[in-house]
Amino acid sequence: MAIDRNPSDIIQPAEQTQQTPLIKGESLFKSIPRSINEVRAQEVTVEESSAVTQVLIEVLNWFFSNNGKHRNLMLSECSFADAYATDPSTANTKQQLITIQSIATYQVRKNPSIVVIVGSPVTTKTGVGIAIEGSSIASMNSSQFKRSYNSYSVQITASSSSQQTTNKIARMLGDIFNLHIPQYYQSVVINDMAKSQIIFPQEYGQPEFLNKDLQEGANIERIWSYQLSFKAEYESLRTVKGIGNLTVDNKKGSLILKHDLPEKVRMGQQYVITVKSNTVGVKLYTTNPNIFDIKKLSGPFGTGTGDYIYRGQALRTGSFKLFLQDMAENNKIESSHAVDF
């Protein structure tokens, strides 16, 4: 599915067109992260369902606000659209206020209203689980990119005290989601601030008849409502900061290949010779076994770790040399010794 990445279509934070009081118990600080770890875990501190709600309200304001960027498109294709606006013009006395709000900030209204309800996330595993397009950038920034792909059940409810008014708003909602968004956005709206996108479906659930219900606490006894329902796919890309850049030095390792036999040894005595090495397998031998005899006692073979133990015995006076080498014969050391009384 193609994605329109026109910069003018990128959503910015929605502006509140009408101030509404807080519901009892609602916190002024609900958007503030609870801990420093929450800030590091994701760049956007807004919870996903709240982000989906914000984007949907912003999309609706594109068409219902007099200053919305698609207001002229709605007016040109819907003859009665000018009768409703989220920011009614004082010059147009026939324009009626319409309120767009989320269910979290819902207040009883006398004027027509649109309420946006976004359900809980249903998470889907995405392919191989990585963001291919961001992998090269992540490696340079010592970060890890995490892609999340969630499905949200959405209900957009239009309501008013008039059956005719509710039918008109329902017609406008049908045009927005079935005609305008697929035509101008290929059913995908990008939220650049949250590094995410919302994918709209091809079909929407639409009732054949309006509901007529009681509205408690209002000045009207009955209210007409129309509910547009669908599932929106929300895809986001989060950046998880890692450690600093790792560097690997491609240098030759330091060789450990040595033994502890003294340079002067006494005739008739036995010596325990310890060989230390980090190579795979070692071999210790003498040039004159009739002067100084060597026998291997213990030690690992083929692992390149640990000590090798030999027993040496001085048989007669004279000089000799010891050679210590690995089994591959790539490394070899030589030492000179003498047997004395």
Lowest mean pLDDT, pick from 31-40, 79-88, 331-340: 31-40
Q: What is the DSSP string of 41-83?
A: H-S--S-HHHHHHHHHHHHHHHHHSTT-TTHHHHHHH-TTGGG
Q: Does residue 63 carry a pLDDT above 80?
A: yes
Question: Does any domain span residue 251?
Answer: no
Domain assignment present for 246: no
* Residues 194 and 277 grouped into a single domain: no
- The domain boundary, picked from 187, 208, 241, lies at 241
- Is residue 79, in this structure, part of any structural domain at all? yes
| Residue indicated by tokens 């912003």 | 58
Whether 35 maps to a domain, the answer reads yes
| Least reliable range by pLDDT among 206-210, 237-241, 270-274 | 237-241
Of 85-89, 136-140, 295-299, the poorest mean pLDDT is in 136-140
CB contact at 8 A, 318 and 338 = yes
Q: Which one has a higher pLDDT value, 333 or 20?
A: 333
Instruction: Determine, yes or no, domain membership for 249.
Output: no
Work out the mean pLDDT of the chain and round it to a whole number: 77
Measured CA to CA in angstroms, residue 41 lies from 45, 198, 290 at distances of 9, 21, 73
Q: Which amino acid is at 2?
A: A
Six-digit token string for 258: 């040595």
Q: Is it the case that residue 80 has pLDDT exceeding 70?
A: yes
Q: CA–CA separation, 115 vs 101, rounded Å?
A: 5
Q: Indicate the pTM of the whole model.
A: 0.54
pLDDT value at 12 more than 50:
no
Residues 220 and 292 in one domain: no
Whether residues 216 and 184 fall in one domain = yes
Q: What is the CATH number of the domain that holds 332?
A: 2.60.40.10
For residues 292 and 233, membership in a common domain is answered with: no
pLDDT of 121 > 80? The answer is: yes
Residue 248 included in any domain: no
Percentage, residues of the chain above pLDDT 70: 69
Residue type, 318: G
136 and 57 in a common domain: yes
Q: Of 44-58, 149-163, 300-314, which range is least confident?
A: 300-314
Least confident range from 38-52, 84-98, 127-141, 211-225: namely 127-141
The pLDDT of residue 305 is 56
Query: 241, 275, 299: which is the final residue of a domain?
Result: 241
Of 29 and 248, which is predicted with more confidence?
248
State which of 188, 213, 241 marks the end of a domain.
Answer: 241
User: 225 and 261: one domain?
Assistant: no
Of 27-31, 112-116, 153-157, 279-283, give the lowest mean pLDDT range: 27-31
pLDDT at 26: 41
Tens-digit pLDDT profile for residues 276-311: 888 777 888 898 989 999 988 876 554 445 678 899
Task: Report how far residue 87's alpha carbon sits from residue 154's, in angstroms, rounded to the nearest whole number.
Answer: 25
For residue 307, what are the domain limits?
257-340
Q: What angle do CA 108, 110, 113 make, to 5 degrees?
A: 70
Residue 247 included in any domain:
no
Q: 54 and 197 share a domain?
A: yes
Answer yes or no: do 74 and 118 share one domain: yes
Higher pLDDT, 219 or 30: 219
In a domain, 204, yes or no: yes
**Residue 39: predicted pLDDT:** 43
Q: Within this chain, do residues 161 and 38 fall inside the same structural domain, yes or no?
A: yes
| Separation between Cα atoms, residue 194 and residue 237, nearest integer Å | 8
Q: Which neighbouring-strand residues pair with 205? A: 229
Q: Are residues 99 and 124 in the same domain?
A: yes
Token pair, residue 157, equals 């409810």
Residues 6 or more apart from 273 whose CB is under 8 A from it? Answer: 259, 260, 261, 284, 294, 309, 310, 311, 312
Inter-CA distances, 203 with 59, 179, 232, 263, 292, Å: 18, 11, 11, 92, 94
Q: Are 309 and 234 part of one and the same domain?
A: no
* pLDDT greater at residue 27 or residue 68: 68
In the chain, the number of structural domains is: 2
Residues 201 and 322 in one domain: no
Residue 2 confidence (pLDDT): 43
How much is the pLDDT for 37?
46
40 confidence band (pLDDT: 50, 70, 90): very low
pLDDT at site 296: 84
